[in-house]
A and B are shown apart, each in its own frame.
Chain A
């Protein structure tokens, strides 16, 4: 086992330097908190992974102490149910800009604006900030959930340019709620998070329970361990360039019937940048990534928002997701009943201006083999029948390329010889979760945990390109990160999986 352990550590060390320098940003939704914000609307530039560079209009958080850089999408507001929020918008663009907050109770005016009262000259659906002026918006967040803000001015242009952002409203505390774990799963770790102790020693008889303290809505049916944002948008580079370079926009207008997206974004980035680190220095105006990392059995909340013009089918590999809310409303048959009207889907139609919340989890249930390679002990949330069915201890490594690997387990993998293999950067060398094996020299390195990777992406396959270059676009990989095993360096998990 020395070789395997050695390779594993080597790869881990390398990966730490290259891929995950700001690892904390992978496991929660980045955003700004508070109840009073100052925003600026201004022009910026974003990068696309094909080497492209497009002008956009976005919001910048110019609250004292804020990031102050214009960004795509705008800053994610993370606020609490019951908050009264004030946003002062300073407009640095050359046309009026405004902000609307669908689903919020507006405390500032909602009257549409017609320039000099001319019925044919609507400029905004709510009061706006004229160029170089400010406008103040106030709203009360009466309901928890997933929402957004967007410009309500000249929407055909300003939405395509990027004047939007996400809002997360957290519910009041329910306290810790205990949820019984199904008897076919092994028990959750004590204290739940890595580094809190005891994750390696769980061999306990079902049933057992788990305490949740985080909820999307004020009900235990919306409990989650980790949350990730999927904010969709798209761009037609032809339009962005017209906006940037056309000197006479009046006499050479853009014909929107010819608008056709060729870039698709998740949280403001195209694949593979979606999977880079948050706040990457090479993407100064695109601070948000989208790289779900989670352990088997964890409840993963996916907050889904479409800020584009087109419909996007969001598809999760690995399992179905359970859609529990729509437009910030828990799907319940009666108040307090919980998400009893939730529905399962492997594809959710992201509609323009619409939000969904979905819960995803993965345990390997029913795969038919022990995902952890015949370990003697249970790790948390293992599917017990598969673990028991395949438990066949072995004492020495089996050379790759010579023998069917652990044929007794029914996992139909015959490893080719290492010289005949081209490894993807996420390949750990082993088909088992948390297990590494020999890799060709220079290969691998993007999978320090030996996790499983599932593509979560738009199922409109054309949207998996960056201006005709595949792969790219609306694509990211969700990583199933194994629960740590005895001997694992828990501080590494702490760093990546807060």
Chain B
């Protein structure tokens, strides 16, 4: 999260640093990435083999293979990007960024074009190969980096991530004041078909008579991901997006999947200010922006007219409403944006999450929680988790922020225990 209370001061600071330390145009951010295998566990327990990128840049990378890969977030005014790729996968891997200039150098395997650019060859067992990719003359915007080799297999496997190129001015998406924001969030959409990933990870991508490239024929995603998580994992506090009240939040919407999505925020339209890394002179207000596969949109969730004291918990969902099964909502493309009153804007920060009231932290709200709350109320014990009233305008249990319990809190939790809404 890049939310700051005093944008002007920090902007001045950043501007000074930038101009003093490096002349404009000579920046060259360099990332060292490793393409490697990993597995991720879906909320229903299914373990899916993936290919991802790890940031192994000396001093800053954590070396963890991620899907989506680490966001390549360039410093302000940086116009050059170098990616040094170490490939530990048993297939050739390359990196390209749609919308940025890269000399095409198609690589043929078995008479077929298998890469858009020179690639790091398949790693020998236990070994690795390397390649380097440089992009120059970058302009501000939101982009996707992804494997440029056998992309119909490697992108669904997880070899993708966000690229953020920034203008010199802090807290602006583009070189235009109309793209100013207070807070920004990267939101990457993608899908997973576990059968597809299992097939590809068992190294059936070798092109020979026995292994035709036929796995994409039956590609049928079962999990729909936002920032690598699917519902209900997206409810975890770490996965929740943030958009403070009374602020403008820039959502960098990226579709790294193979399907078209319509990311919609329940109850709030967004203002589309950029598309594919291009600033839109005339922004579009939309409640259902179309985000086709491979596209990026810069959307402002403008809460500047929302009072500082208003608590919200927005749902972001794909209006196409795809999910795997009729039985439950697991695997749905649903994420949440918390928008809570935060000190020092308000005297005390408020927690408005809709799961508050689960006093014994057993994952559900039932009559036991009501009893615990009542007991604490009688004994004048404070507990922030039971401090749920008053509720916000949106109907969320924001509480008073003091942790002091009231009878009204017990009534509210009883209502939740009885599923009355």
Chain A interface residues (CB < 8 Å from chain B): 100, 102-103, 106, 108-122, 124-128, 130, 135, 152, 154-157, 159-160, 242, 249-250, 253-258, 309-311, 326-329, 331, 333, 341, 349, 351-354
Contact = CB atoms under 8 A, between A and B. Distances in A.
Interface in B282-331: 282, 284-288, 290, 312-313, 315, 317, 319-330
A114 B282 CA distance: 39
B365 A116 contact: yes
Nearest to B329: A122
Contacts of A309: 320-322
A341 B285 CA distance: 13
Interface stretch (B118-126, B132-140, B154-162, B261-269): B261-269
Contacts of B417: 116-117
19 contacts: A102-B269, A102-B288, A110-B267, A118-B363, A118-B365, A119-B235, A121-B232, A130-B419, A156-B332, A157-B326, A249-B326, A250-B327, A255-B325, A309-B321, A311-B260, A326-B286, A333-B282, A349-B290, A353-B262
A125 B286 CA distance: 19
B266 A112 contact: yes
A156 B334 CA distance: 12
B262 A116 contact: no
B324 A112 contact: no
Given A120-B330, A256-B322, A256-B325, A352 B288 contact: yes
Interface stretch (B88-96, B164-172, B342-350, B352-360): B352-360
A116 B355 CA distance: 9
A156 B355 contact: no
Given A113-B421, A128-B421, A354-B262, A154 B329 contact: yes
Contacts of B328: 121
A127 B395 contact: yes
A446 to B, nearest CB: 37
Most buried by A among B269, B286, B365: B286
Contacts of B321: 155-156, 159-160, 309, 352
Given A111-B396, A155-B317, A352-B320, A119 B327 contact: no
Secondary structure at the A interface, as helix, strand, loop or mixed, is loop
Contacts, number: 155
Contacts of A112: 266, 313, 315, 336, 354
Contacts of A120: 43, 232, 235, 330
Nearest to B353: A119
B221 interface: yes
A125 B262 contact: no
Given A109-B395, A349-B290, A354-B262, A116 B329 contact: no
A340 B311 CA distance: 37
Contact of B269 (A117, A156, A327): A327
B334 A122 contact: yes
Contact of B395 (A110, A130, A327, A354): A110
A116 B262 CA distance: 29
Contacts of B232: 119-122
Contacts of A154: 329
Most buried by A among B232, B288, B324, B327: B288
A329 B326 CA distance: 35
Interface in B7-44: 43
Nearest to A124: B421
B220 interface: yes
Given A127-B421, A351-B262, A353-B262, A257 B354 contact: no
Nearest to A152: B266
Contacts of A328: 287
Nearest to B264: A353
Contacts of A257: 220-222, 324
A254 B326 contact: yes
A108 B286 CA distance: 22
Contacts of A118: 363-365
A196 B151 CA distance: 65
Contacts of B66: none
A116 B288 contact: no
Most buried by A among B236, B287, B354: B287
Contact of A353 (B319, B326, B357): B319
Interface in B130-188: none
B287 A103 contact: yes
Contacts of B262: 351-354
Contact of B326 (A115, A119, A253, A349): A253
Contact of B419 (A116, A349, A354): A116
Contacts of B363: 118-119
B332 A117 contact: no
Contacts of B320: 309-310, 352
A116 B364 contact: yes
A327 B285 contact: yes
Contacts of A100: 266-267
Given A250-B327, A256-B324, A352-B288, 4 more contacts: A108-B395, A112-B313, A257-B222, A310-B320
B279 interface: no
B53 interface: no
A111 B313 contact: yes
Given A249-B327, A253-B327, A327-B288, A116 B366 contact: yes
A76 to B, nearest CB: 19
B315 A125 contact: yes
Interface in B224-241: 231-232, 235-236
A422 B323 CA distance: 49
A129 to B, nearest CB: 9
Nearest to A351: B290
A467 to B, nearest CB: 21
B222 A111 contact: no
Interface in B173-207: none
